[in-house]
Amino acid sequence: MIDLVFCIDDDPIASFIFGLTIKKSQLSKEFVAFNSSVEALEYFETQKSISNDEQSIPRLIFLDLEMPEMDGWEFLIAFNSQYSNDFPNVRFIVLSSSVNPADIENAMSIQSVIDFYQKPLKVDKLIELKNSNAIKHLF
């Protein structure tokens, strides 16, 4: 199991259901949901200033693309420019309700992104992910 997984999604119901799916798939020991990208960036800013404690930093973040205030693309740009040096082991799986080929291509061109999944994620997809080579190094 991965120690800590984050989900950044503006829909609290989707985040709650996703948390149940994470638990059922046994992908991670702990799951934290953020309802905004800004809130998640504030978390990393706080972690950067207080310590580099690996226990409080996720190895994997599921990131929704469509969010108000700051969308997933803007979050990735901000994270990679401000925090990737401090937290180099953080990896992303981009989530979207659309399967626009351009979105998939753009997401996969970002080094910290390891995959792109269509929402909603189901338990069998997370079990498949858990057993894939794409995240074995995160365990």
pLDDT > 90? residue 17: yes
CA angle 104, 108, 109 (to 5 degrees): 120
State the residue range of the domain holding 86.
Answer: 2-138
Q: Which of 16, 68, 65, 8 is nearest to 39 (CA)?
A: 8
Q: What is the mean pLDDT of the chain?
A: 91
Give 113-118 contacts, CB < 8 A, sequence gap 24+: 113/76, 117/62, 117/93
Q: What is the pLDDT of residue 49?
A: 83
What is the tens place of the pLDDT at every residue in 24-65? Answer: 999 999 999 999 999 999 999 999 888 666 779 999 999 999
Mean per-residue pLDDT for 75-97?
94
Mean pLDDT to the nearest integer, 69-76: 96
**pLDDT of 95 over the 80 cut:** yes
Counted domains in the chain:
1
Answer with the residue of higher pLDDT: 51 or 119. 119
CATH assignment of the domain containing 16? 3.40.50.2300
- Phi–psi pair at 29, nearest 5 degrees: -75, -40
- Residue 137 is predicted with a pLDDT of 75
